[in-house]
Structure 1
Amino acid sequence: MKAARSGTKDGLERTKIAVMRKVSFLQRKDQLGNEDDAGYLDVAVSEVKHPPPQLSPMPEGLTSHQVVRRHILGSIIQSERSYLESLRRILQEYHRPLMEADPRILSPRKIRPIFYRIREITQCHSMFQIALASRVAEWDSTEKIGDLFVASFSKSMVLDVYSDYVNNFTNAMALIKKACMSKPAFLEFLKKKQASSVDRITLYGLMVKPIQRFPQFILLLQDMLKNTPKGHVDRLPLQLALTELEVLAEKLNEQKRVADQIAETQQLARSVSDRLLSKQLNSEQGSLVLCETLIETVYGERGQVLKSKERKVFLFDDVLICANINVKGPPDISSLVPVGPKYTIKWSAPLQQVQVVEVGQEGSQSKDTLFQQSGAKRPSGTFTSGRAILGPPRLYQELQELQHDLSVVEEVTLLVGTLEGTYQNLNTTVAQDWCLALQRLIRIKEEQIQSANKCRLRLQVPGRPDKSGRPVSFMVVFNTPNPLSKISWVNRLHLAKIALREENSPGWLCGEDEGKTTAPFWYPLLACHMSVFATKSTERKVILLLLEHSPTEHDSSNSLIS
């Protein structure tokens, strides 16, 4: 095309016609085996002209802080050298042999997404190593390195390259796993490469290092900052560098979490036998609000734990799904790359029919509701007339029994005080000791109830109606990893149910998102509304809107009410 422009007008027209007809000699860039560089320029870095950073021998007369800072600088040099060597190993020992293999082990179309952005990351750190070598050479006179990290890793290009790599990492591992299962030659290639390497590290072990790189930098710079005295020329640059790297690492971690959740949702959708639910999971309309591995616990009649098992719980904007986790895979493949879990749905329920039940709230449930578990045993928290409350809710029942006994003992104490005679083990002092003992037991029981509520998520979930058509529900108990996780689940369930109300459909509008079909979940949700009338002096009618939104998300001032 460029030659046609510089030539005759007839030549340009012929080239345009050839492009429209897709003539074979006009191949696209990706057909030639080149990666999409997106503005990236591959520059060869010669170690002869730019040798790796080398710290000079330690001079005499250094303070303790200066000695420690030199040791930390040496750790930074060694860590970066090892990291850059790992990146080059990926390109030289895996990417290049796969691209040049004859006969082909994998097609270039499958190789490119596996090693996506590795070259760009290598180039970024090659440039950083050159700058680091220059700074190390003058360390004894400057003792400054924080500004180098700011200059090297605050660029938008670094964030873009690493973001692309992190977002693609789950997909790359899935492609490697699939290729191992479908291409025996590729599996054998990976085994041979691992066996021939000195450290026996796998391809996965090399490719996970870019995800771990910035947390390693943060730890090293934190140590450097701790040993940098106040007033030192490097203290403020180190603080700025830590801020930049922490923000960058947080963004990458969030992107990795979202990418993993999308992959898990796709894996879940493949295991669904219900066509309607599978279509719902594969559609872009439904969004994943939260997913986490929780421990489901089943209790016996005396409140003892009968069994506990890990479940993956998915909270979508309109459905709650509990899935079994199966992490088994072929041993020869799982030793090279994480196989990842497979999910089979245990139960799913419309979100509007799911209720959070705290310990002690069982009495507020409808007595007409029949509770049963899909199995032979009743779950924790189930109750029917004439039976005791089971599992952790039994704590609340035991508390009520202790409170009843305390009131009776207090009455007995008063009656004992009216006795005319003296009797062994029947006096006011003994009765008061009974009261104190019961009060101690009540405090212990209250602490147990409080502890049970902190990490225990109890959900009342609808089941299939019984033979008579009555609604049937069952109680499930999940143990969350920590109290904050339980709070997050309760809040997200509450907000997701509010979002399903008619007044919140189709959703709120935001100026910056105009033109998008799906309103983000975290915009303010209308909880309720009421009319407020002003005085007669004004003709305005004020409508008070009570808004609820997640405290960690966007502020309601960003929304546009129409």
Structure 2
Amino acid sequence: MKAAKSGTKDGLEKTKIAVMRTFLNRKDVPGDSEEEEMGFLEVPVNDLKHLFPELGPMPEGLSPQQVVRRHILGSIVQSERSYVDSLRRILQDYRNPLVEMEPKVLSLRKCQVVFFRVKEILQCHSMFQIALSSRVAEWDTTEKIGDLFVASFSKSMVLDVYSEYVNNFTTAMSLIKKACLTKPAFLEFLKKRQMGSVDRVTLYGLMVKPIQRFPQFILLLQDMLKNTPKGHADRLSLQLALTELETLAEKLNEQKRLADQVAEIQQLTKSVSDRSSINKLLSSGQRQLLLCETLTETVYSDRGQLIKSKERKVFLLNDMLVCTNINFKCVGQLEISTLVPLGPKYIVKWNAALPQVQVVEVGQESSAHEKDNVVIPNLGLKKHMPSSQSSHNKVYLGPPRLFQELQDLQKDLAVVEQITLLISTLHGTYQNLNMTVAQDWCLALQRLMRVKEEEIHSANKCRLRLLLPGKPDKSGRPVNVMVVFITPNPLSKISWVNRLHLAKIALREENQPGWLCPEEDKKCKAPFWCPILVSRMPAFSSRALDLQISQYILPNHSEVHIVILVS
């Protein structure tokens, strides 16, 4: 109190810290410990005093919409009860025994990482459950629930707690997997806890529920809104609640996506040999994952027959394309995989710098062939072919079997047209050998060709062709290799093509970040990936003492002098 009475700024800060410690039961102020607390007020909830909310008997004379709304409210109450019970099980069945266990199978620091923010999430929903109880008790007179969701989940601290939980989720699962592999006692502890539970839900199954909670709320409130008539007192509140929850869910989904991308790069880095050159590139911290997806690589024979089709995990980094084999085998880890997902291991098949990767669309093959020798491993053919086989080059455009069938139809049509010309020279009349029959043959073949072209066009929507640099031939000339992937759907192919083009544009020097600020040791920080599509301009340090005078020649050959004055 002396510090507060002195009236100084330092005294005011000390008073604030003392109040925070007193009312928030905190041992340290923010920043003093590794696990920085959120500043939540610890409110003990008495289960006997605050029972789970329950709907009473349904009154008579309710409209069909009121009955449906009552059932939806019951689903909200039931799902919230199950969710709060799952959070308590995480703490009571797993966290607390691990913290109290002697000898430790998991250190206190690792326990903090694994169960990070679970207690704060439980506190949020315990308070929400208390408010929900009172709202359920008066439901038949008020029929309002939307404002409760707005008041409970529009606070910034809720977003902060859930965000930190989501961001930490991948790290927590990785730590659990590592502990299962290295500490048999920890694995045995998880197995006993799972077998001792009524529903046999694993720790992973419990900890994934906070990530799924807001999508569940959104579905329930959407059903409630559909059954709320216009002019109802709860309708506007439900719309506001849905807006708040959808915004919150979108932010959490984006953070989860970014965290998963970081985990994918880490998993890819672990799969590469430490001595490999790509390992140094991946572990340098300069890489960002733009897109990764499981695609199907297809290999065909020169007759258009499918030789091989295998799933590959393809990673699009900001400056590199990496293709890997997927290895799901987990020898000796079967029981661990039942407790926590281990995920696949990757074996790098090839990688290529993005500037050297070309997307080959329909109609671009001929121009690509003119540049270099192009070896198509899918077909085993080379560019140099007899002129009589020039039409056979169309096999590069898409599915070889379909193009082979189209070419056969084209050849048959040409033969039928010749037959038609010969028929026109006949002097006699013969059954089934006249111009009408010949023209019908031509029309039928043309219809089959149109059907085949539509099939090819549909297949091309999911066919991603990439031209990659290969090993030089015996004469030292560069050879490009064509790789063909099948994407899950047409939108996936569009996404890959667009991301590839944008990433290549971003790598151009003129599209790097606009300002590079040199440090005192005259070293520049690594630029972050951000294609701003402007020219780069250097910025001089604010501590420079000399005037910097530069002379530039403009494109029209006029000179301009720029003087930079430093105060």
State TM-score, norm by structure 1.
Answer: 0.82
The whole-number CA distance in structure 2 between the counterparts of 1:198 and 1:151 is 34
SS at match of 2:461: helix
Worse-superposed segment, 217-226 or 80-89: 217-226
Bigger Cα displacement from structure 2, 113-122 vs 465-474: 465-474
Per the alignment, residue 285 of structure 2 pairs with 284
| The one of 517, 523, 537 aligned to 2:532 | 523
What is the DSSP-based 3-state SS (H/G/I as helix, E as strand, rest coil) of the residue aligned with 2:214?
helix
Contact 2:375 2:480 in 1 (8 A): yes
8 Å CA contact retained: 1:402, 1:438: yes
% of aligned pairs identical?
67
Shift of 1:28: 7.1
SS of the residue 1:250 aligns to: helix
SS, match of residue 365 in structure 1: helix
State the superposition RMSD in angstroms.
3.1
Please state if 1:347 is matched with 2:356: no
The residue number in structure 2 matching 1:270 is: 270
1:387-438 C-alpha deviation (Å, 9 max, x unpaired): 7537714544654554465466456545544543212332121111112111
Contact 1:380/1:476 (8 A) holds in 2: no
Alpha-carbon distance between aligned partners in 1 of 2:370 and 2:34, rounded to the nearest angstrom: 68
Change (3 A) 1:44 1:28: closer
2:319/2:507 contact within 8 Å kept: yes
Contact 2:305 2:400 in 1 (8 A): no
SS at match of 1:366: helix
Partner of 1:96: 96
For the 8 Å contact 1:360–1:393, the answer to whether it is kept is no
Which consecutive residues of structure 2, in runs of 5 or more, have no partner in the other structure?
12-26, 517-523, 536-553, 557-567
Instruction: Decide whether the 8 Å contact of 1:508 with 1:519 is kept in 2.
Output: no
Matched, 1:362 2:365: yes
Is residue 426 of structure 2 the alignment partner of residue 423 of structure 1?
no
For residues 379 and 513 of structure 2, the distance between their equivalents in structure 1, rounded to whole angstroms, comes to 37
Q: Distance in 2 between matches of 1:94 and 1:51?
A: 24
Gaps of 5+ in 1: 13-26, 527-540, 544-562
Distance 2:293 2:174 in 1: 20
Which of 448-457 and 362-371 deviates more? 362-371
Give CA deviations for 1:449-472 in whole Å, capped at 9, x if unaligned.
Answer: 111111111111112223332222
For residues 85 and 395 of structure 1, what CA distance do their matches in structure 2 show? 57
Q: Is 1:503 equivalent to 2:510 in the alignment?
A: yes
In 2, are the aligned partners of 1:162 and 1:252 still within 8 Å (CA)?
yes
Task: Supply the distance in 1 between the matched residues of 2:422 and 2:99 (Cα, whole angstroms).
Answer: 94
Q: Is contact 2:303-2:404 (8 Å) kept?
A: no
Distance in 2 of aligned mates of 1:198 and 1:240? 38
AA partner of residue 319 (structure 1): M
The offset of 1:126, in angstroms, is 0.7
* CA distance 1:499–1:33, change in 2 (3 Å): closer
| 1:327 Cα deviation from its structure 2 partner | 2.4
Match in the other structure for 1:479: 486
Q: Where in structure 2 are the equivalents of 1:379-398 lying within 5 Å?
A: 379-380=378-379, 382-384=381-383, 385=385, 388=392, 389=395, 392-393=399-400, 395-396=402-403, 398=405
Q: Does 1:233 align with 2:239?
A: no
Q: For residues 462 and 195 of structure 1, do their structure 2 counterparts lie closer, same or farther at Cα, with a shift above 3 Å needed?
A: same
After TM superposition, the structure 1 = structure 2 runs for residues 45-124 of structure 1, keeping only pairs within 5 Å, are: 45-124=45-124
1:181 matched to 2:190? The reply is no
Aligned residue for 1:221? Answer: 221
Once residues 380 and 60 of structure 1 are traced to their aligned partners in structure 2, the CA distance between those partners, rounded to angstroms, is 75
- The answer to whether the Cα contact below 8 Å between 1:455 and 1:479 also exists between their aligned partners in 2 is yes
Structure 1, 115-124 or 435-444: larger mean CA deviation: 435-444
**Cα offset for 1:360?**
4.4
For 1:89, give the aligned amino acid. R
1:324 maps to what in 2? 325
- Quick check: 1:490 aligned with 2:493? no
Residue 450 of structure 2 is matched in structure 1 by 443
Tell me how far apart the structure 2 counterparts of residues 76 and 476 of structure 1 sit (CA, whole Å).
51
Counterparts in 2 of 1:227 and 1:259: CA distance versus 1, 3 Å: same
Tell me how far apart the structure 2 counterparts of residues 110 and 185 of structure 1 sit (CA, whole Å).
15
1:154 maps to what in 2?
154
Match of 1:456 in 2: 463
8 Å Cα contact 1:380/1:477 also seen in 2 = no
Residue 163 (structure 2) aligns with: 163
Q: What per-residue deviation string (whole Å, max 9, x for no partner) do you get for residues 335-384 of structure 1?
A: 111112211100001111111122443222225744447xxxx3158544
Q: Which residue of 2 aligns with 1:199?
A: 199
CA distance in 2 between counterparts of 1:142 and 1:30 reads: 42
SS at match of 2:199: coil
Q: Is the 8 A contact 1:359 1:392 kept in 2?
A: no
Q: How many residues align?
A: 502
When the two structures are superposed, what TM-score results if normalisation uses the length of structure 2? 0.81
* Deviation (angstroms), 1:496: 1.2
Tell me the distance in 2 between the aligned counterparts of 1:34 and 1:495.
39
Distance 1:509 1:65, change over 3 A: farther
Compared CA separation, residues 508 and 398, structure 1 to 2 (3 A): farther
Residues 475-506 of structure 1: CA deviation (Å, up to 9, x unaligned): 221111111110010011111112222322x3
| Cα distance in 2 for residues equivalent to 1:202 and 1:450 | 47
Q: Deviations over 1:162-200 (max 9, x none)?
A: 111111111100000111111111111111111111111
Alpha-carbon distance in structure 1 between the residues aligned to 2:209 and 2:480? 47
1:304 lines up with 2:305 in the alignment: yes
Change (3 A) 1:45 1:518: farther
**Alpha-carbon offset, residue 275 of structure 1:** 4.0
Aligned mates of 2:238, 2:316 — CA distance in 1: 41
Q: Rate the CA distance shift 1:470–1:103 in 2: closer, same or farther, 3 A.
A: same
Deviation at 1:70, TM superposition (A): 0.7
Name the SS for the 2:369 alignment partner: coil
Which whole-Å CA distance do the structure 1 matches of 2:263 and 2:216 have between them?
A: 26
